[in-house]
Amino acid sequence: DTEVTQTPKHLVMGMTNKKSLKCEQHMGHRAMYWYKQKAKKPPELMFVYSYEKLSINESVPSRFSPECPNSSLLNLHLHALQPEDSALYLCASSHPGLAGANLDEQFFGPGTRLTVL
């Protein structure tokens, strides 16, 4: 199985809602990533988990809260979002290299299209 799955595909939420995005992979990858992508822009790294531990947090606002319950799952909990947070949220995974660096290709999921009203 060389697939990264993401649910839901689309999500519309109000600024007071709490919702979660889910990502799953069964390739045995031990590095997992969350990216945010606005229209016609490149993906921007938000978080990286390596061996289920948060490795990188790119100064993301606390209204985004990542969670890695096990080596196959990655969640992104959303609370009190703003309309400017509307974007495509992409999950990816990869094999971590020896010294904790990313030396391999990343496999991406199809993304969750998030709209905040």
Partner 1 sequence: SQQGEEDPQALSIQEGENATMNCSYKTSINNLQWYRQNSGRGLVHLILIRSNEREKHSGRLRVTLDTSKKSSSLLITASRAADTASYFCATGGTGGFKTIFGAGTRLFVKA
Q: Which residues bind partner 1 (CB under 8 A)?
A: 4, 31, 33, 40-45, 48, 50, 55-56, 88, 90, 92, 96-97, 100-111, 113
Query: Residue 60: CB partners within 8 Å, gap ≥ 6?
Result: 46, 47
> By C-beta, is 13 or 56 nearer to partner 1?
56
> By C-beta, is 83 or 98 nearer to partner 1?
98
Strands 31-37 and 87-94, bridge-based pairing: antiparallel
Q: Assess contact for 5 and 59: CB atoms under 8 A.
A: no
> By C-beta, is 64 or 112 nearer to partner 1?
112
Please state the closest distance from residue 80 (CB atom) to partner 1, in A. 26
- Taking the alpha carbons at both ends of the chain, their separation in whole angstroms is 36
